[in-house]
A and B are shown apart, each in its own frame.
Chain A
Amino acid sequence: AQSVTQLDSQVPVFEEAPVELRCNYSSSVSVYLFWYVQYPNQGLQLLLKYLSGSTLVESINGFEAEFNKSQTSFHLRKPSVHISDTAEYFCAVSDRGGSYIPTFGRGTSLIVHP
């Protein structure tokens, strides 16, 4: 079984500042990792994913995440945030070769202030 820990329930930041949302996971097998974003009153949308290959993955809107196997982490970063990035962010992990059903973290609310 796998688990996901998102250490920060809320991250306030000013516009154009950098941000990091932390995600740590535990699993006895190799994993796939995902970040989802949820804007107010909407469902979740896939932001980016790590399946294999390069440990640094990027999204189309400037976010990136790095898979660190030794630290079992998959932190999400953005060098300069916008007001429109205000949302809830969920990290998720699923086992390779298992049911593929992901386990979600509790979410981090990113609040971008002008």
Chain B
Amino acid sequence: DAGITQSPRHKVTETGTPVTLRCHQTENHRYMYWYRQDPGHGLRLIHYSYGVKDTDKGEVSDGYSVSRSKTEDFLLTLESATSSQTSVYFCAISDKASWNRGYTFGSGTRLTVV
């Protein structure tokens, strides 16, 4: 999607290892979000950020941490990956000035924990 990229696109990792997913935006939007998508659950919010160094938890934040040291990057870290964290992870961005146009989503990162 224009203005927002996620990396890596695919990753396979072993249980117990740390994993960091990156979301990078070029829109200068204030708000950034991490969601996970699982069959039968739709999208669930993990963490979000409302500014540099300002973050808050979503509904499924256990086992995840985030950091935002600059406007354009929002990192999601799994400190010790578990099989239950196998999922597709989406980053999204929005801005108060344009929030009513909805979110802009990245293309996703498919994470498999073996």
Contact = CB atoms under 8 A, between A and B. Distances in A.
A104 B106 CA distance: 16
B45 interface: yes
Number of chain A interface residues as a range: 20 to 34
A43 B108 CA distance: 6
Contact of B40 (A43, A49, A51, A106): A106
Nearest to A106: B42
Contacts, number: 48
A42 B88 CA distance: 11
A9 B1 CA distance: 26
Interface string B28-72: 000001010000111111001000000000000000000000000
Interface stretch (B14-22, B74-82, B97-105): B97-105
Interface of A: 6, 9, 32, 34, 36, 41-46, 49, 51, 90, 100-102, 104-107
